[in-house]
């Protein structure tokens, strides 16, 4: 049951104490900087092609390999988060992706850069898997939808930050010769973009000293020690996901996030190219889209706490995004095109406001690291095929706008349908031992009597 609403309560932001805010900010800034480190590459693909003399397909593969290796990081950090606590894998993930973002700037061959971007993906996946349960297990149940939307918005803030870095930092170094490349066309600018990725590593010191471990996870460890439990599934949480009671949860959640990723990449991946084909500078419209998404995911996340619930909010956001397609892609007015970009961000991008809350609410505490981590990054791995599908549609004779329109509409309908294959989760409480069966409880009581 959802918690009753008390109209005399103070504003929501005053209901969150300092420890809860610090857990939120650790995850938010980790995801923001994660998004920044990933999206900087989307602005410098041409530079990478010039430096290593590779075609567009190989340049695009750098993004695909990163998305695929997110699954490795999501599984590894998720299992660590369930076994050792949420903080440790969060800190390790931030250090990991910062290191390999930085090292990417020293690549002297395409193969070296490919390997660094694959390794970067491991840290990228780990940050989400460990950070989301850390933040959401701190916050009250009634505010989890809002926290979910605000947290996921960190990615879009990171995208805006990378766009600003490209606009204002990159040009300073774009005319300087590249000392690490034999190509006369290569400049230092793209390497500096990667080198800025080391900055997130500084945040780890604050997380280590200023953020408390999840109280739900700590309570679970205390209860397990009291019961003397030492099952294999408690030590290796991944095994728990494939037991009968959680198998469908794992499958449906993974398919759902695959449709989310299909929608996101249908909207965003080719969008700058679409704008350039129209003779437009992408920066204004990319910022408009991401600003709309930041507002939209917070709005829809908050709306999911009410009568709509998680499923209703996802469906309404997705279908509203479908209705915004003409304004997003077909108008000839630059002013209306900008409005369309912001509206698409707020609607089609707004579906992500419910993703962290929905995934963490689907899985019990014992697997709240690895369950959402597997589902989210399995979806990312499957969704990584979307840019290729859009490219093939263009190779078959469709325009960029036509291919995007087809995929945006199709993915929006899929999102609105797949979410209903699972239950409503709004108001679901996190319990320390919500995975304990009746048999476990009975055995514990019998042991206590014997003692």
Contact present, 257 and 359 (Cβ < 8 Å): yes
Nearest alpha-carbon partner for 122 in 153, 150, 148, 101:
101
Sign of CA dihedral 286, 412, 269, 145: positive
Q: Tell me: pLDDT of 443 over 50.
A: no
Tokens of 395: 């190779």
CA gap 363, 372 in Å, rounded: 7
Q: What does the domain layout of the chain look like in residue ranges?
A: 17-207, 240-427
The CATH-assigned architecture of domain 240-427 is Up-down Bundle (1.20)
What pLDDT does residue 435 have?
Answer: 53
Domain 17-207 has CATH 3.40.50.150: no
Q: How confident is the model at residue 88 (pLDDT cuts 50, 70, 90)?
A: very high
Tokens of 423: 């239950």
Alpha helices in 11-143 (DSSP H): 18-39, 45-52, 56-84, 87-104, 110-136
Fold matches, 17-207 and 240-427: yes
CA gap 94, 77 in Å, rounded: 11
- Whether pTM exceeds 0.75: yes
What pLDDT does residue 444 have?
Answer: 35
| Cβ contacts of 401 within 8 Å, gap of 6 or more | 274, 329, 330
User: Hey, what's the torsion of the CAs at 418, 422, 426, 427, to 10 degrees?
Assistant: -170
What pLDDT does residue 414 have?
Answer: 97
Tokens of 314: 């996802």
* Distance from the Cα of residue 262 to its chain's centroid: 13
Q: Tell me: pLDDT of 436 over 80.
A: no
Q: What is the mean pLDDT of residues 79-99?
A: 92
Looking at 9-13, 28-32, 115-119, 280-284, which range is the least confident one? 9-13
Tokens of 73: 């990081």
CA gap 107, 35 in Å, rounded: 21
User: pLDDT by residue (tens digit) across 369-402?
Assistant: 999 999 998 998 898 888 778 888 888 888 889 9
């Amino acid at each position: 049951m959802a918690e009753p609403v008390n109209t005399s309560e103070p504003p929501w932001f005053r209901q969150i104490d300092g420890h809860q805010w610090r857990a939120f900010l650790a995850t938010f800034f980790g995801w923001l900087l994660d998004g920044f480190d990933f999206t900087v590459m989307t602005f410098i693909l041409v530079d990478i092609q010039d430096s290593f003399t590779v075609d567009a397909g190989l340049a695009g593969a750098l993004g695909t390999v990163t998305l695929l290796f997110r699954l490795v990081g999501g599984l590894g950090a998720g299992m660590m988060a369930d076994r050792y606590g949420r903080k440790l894998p969060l800190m390790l993930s931030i250090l990991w992706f910062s290191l390999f973002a930085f090292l990417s700037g020293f690549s002297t061959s395409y193969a070296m850069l490919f390997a660094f971007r694959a390794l970067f993906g491991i840290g990228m996946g780990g940050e989400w898997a460990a950070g989301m349960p850390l933040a959401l297990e701190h916050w009250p149940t009634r505010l989890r939808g809002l926290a979910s939307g605000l947290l996921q918005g960190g990615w879009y803030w990171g995208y805006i930050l990378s766009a600003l870095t490209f606009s204002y930092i990159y040009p300073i170094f774009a005319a300087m010769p590249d000392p690490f490349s034999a190509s006369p066309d290569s400049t230092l600018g793209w390497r500096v973009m990667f080198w800025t990725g080391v900055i997130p590593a500084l945040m780890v010191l604050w997380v280590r000293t200023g953020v408390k471990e999840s109280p739900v996870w700590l309570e679970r460890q205390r209860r397990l020690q009291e019961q003397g439990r030492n099952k294999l599934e408690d030590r290796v949480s991944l095994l728990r996901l494939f037991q009968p009671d959680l198998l469908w949860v794992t499958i449906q959640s993974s398919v759902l996030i695959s449709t989310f990723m299909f929608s996101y990449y249908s909207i965003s991946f080719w969008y700058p190219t679409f704008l350039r084909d129209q003779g437009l500078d992408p920066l204004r419209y990319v910022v408009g889209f991401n600003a709309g998404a930041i507002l939209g995911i917070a709005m829809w996340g908050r709306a999911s706490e009410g009568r709509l619930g998680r499923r209703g909010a996802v469906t309404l956001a997705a279908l509203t995004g479908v209705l915004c397609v003409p304004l997003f892609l077909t108008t000839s007015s630059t002013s209306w095109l900008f409005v369309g970009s912001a509206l698409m961000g707020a609607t089609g991008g707004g579906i992500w406001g419910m993703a962290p809350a929905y995934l963490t609410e689907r899985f019990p505490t014992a697997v709240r690291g690895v369950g959402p981590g597997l589902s989210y990054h399995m979806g990312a791995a499957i969704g990584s095929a979307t840019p290729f599908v859009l490219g093939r549609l263009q190779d078959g004779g469709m325009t960029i706008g036509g291919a995007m329109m087809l995929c945006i509409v199709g993915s929006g309908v899929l999102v609105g349908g797949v979410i209903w294959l699972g239950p409503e989760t709004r108001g679901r409480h996190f319990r320390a031992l919500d995975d304990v069966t009746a048999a476990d409880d009975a055995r514990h009581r019998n042991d206590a009597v014997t003692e």
